[in-house]
Structure 1
Amino acid sequence: MYSREEAKKIKETFWTSFGQYMQPVPGADGGKVNWVNYKTGIRYLYFRMDADNKKASVAIEIAHPDAGIRALLFEQFQQYRMLLENELGEEWIWHAESQDDYGKETARIYVELAGVSVFKQSDWPSLISFFKPRIMALDSFWSDAQYGFELFK
């Protein structure tokens, strides 16, 4: 078991390593992308990657505090579902109502990889192999779909 400080340091080391690994990879539009802290340009809309001691996940998280706007954003993603899943090459889990780690209401579209731990360096290649193609596919999807979300800016 790791102390809180040790766990934080291990996670920071992983995400720094992942960021350095992804740094030379251009975005779908050819530009530079901060892959670890991806900017969608829409307030309260995040592309998140997470890993803990049991699983890893990649998610589209809609965290708008207004439930009606959050529902509209989720519906807009549903309109793009076929484009998204074609880009990802897989189906993700869709939850119109969810909660983040702090109990805030969100909507999430996500996929998980079970049986991996960010605290086991031997799992890092599996984590990178999980995160890289999915965040790149999200970027590719977003380069086409973002214009359909302009009204939420």
Structure 2
Amino acid sequence: MYSKDQASQLKQAFWTAFGQYMGPVMPADGLRTNWINYKTGVKHIYFKMQADNKLAGIAIEISHPDTELQELFFEQFTTYKALLHNVLQEEWEWQLHTTDEYGKIVSRIYIELNQVSIFQREDWPKLISFFKPRIIALDEFWSNAKYAFEV
């Protein structure tokens, strides 16, 4: 078991390593990007990568405080579902109006990898192999679809 400080340091070390690993990868639009804190450029739409002691996940998260507008964004994503899955080369889960870790209502399009731990360095290659192609694919998808979401 790790102390809070040790856990925080391990998480930070992983995300730093992942960021360095992704550094040479150019995004679809050719502009530099922060892969770990990916900016979609559209308020309330985020690409999130998370990992803990049991699983890892990557998601498109829609967090608009107005649930009706959140649902409209979600429906808009459904019109791009075929393109998204074609770019990702896999099916993701679609969840309308669930809650996040803070109890806030969000909608998510996501995939998870079970039985990995960010606290086990031997799992880091699995985590990197899970996150890297998916965040690159999300970037490729977003370079084509983002204009439909801009207000």
- What is the TM-score normalised by the length of structure 2? 0.99
Which residue is equivalent to 1:18? Answer: 18
Q: Could you tell me how far 1:15 is from its partner in structure 2?
A: 0.2
Q: Could you tell me how far 1:126 is from its partner in structure 2?
A: 0.3
| Within-5 A mapping of 1:80-91 | 80-91=80-91
| Within-5 A mapping of 1:108-123 | 108-123=108-123
Q: Tell whether 2:50 aligns with 1:50.
A: yes
Which secondary structure does the structure 2 equivalent of 1:49 belong to? strand
| Within-5 A mapping of 1:1-150 | 1-150=1-150
| Structure 1 residue runs of 4 or more that deviate by more than 3 Å after TM superposition | none
The number of residue pairs the alignment matches comes to: 151
Which secondary structure does the structure 1 equivalent of 2:108 belong to? strand
Letter in structure 2 aligned against 1:69: L
The unaligned stretches of length 5 or more in structure 2 are: none
Q: Could you tell me how far 1:33 is from its partner in structure 2?
A: 1.2
Q: Distance in 1 between matches of 2:5 and 2:71?
A: 37
Q: Distance in 2 between matches of 1:102 and 1:150?
A: 26
Q: Could you tell me how far 1:30 is from its partner in structure 2?
A: 1.5
Which secondary structure does the structure 1 equivalent of 2:150 belong to? helix
- Percent of aligned pairs with the same amino acid: 58
1:45-87 CA-to-partner distances (Å, cap 9, x unmatched) read 1000000000000000001111111000000000100000000
Q: Distance in 1 between matches of 2:69 and 2:41?
A: 16
Q: Could you tell me how far 1:97 is from its partner in structure 2?
A: 1.3
CA RMSD of superposed structures (Å): 0.6
1:93-118 CA-to-partner distances (Å, cap 9, x unmatched) read 00011111100000000000001000
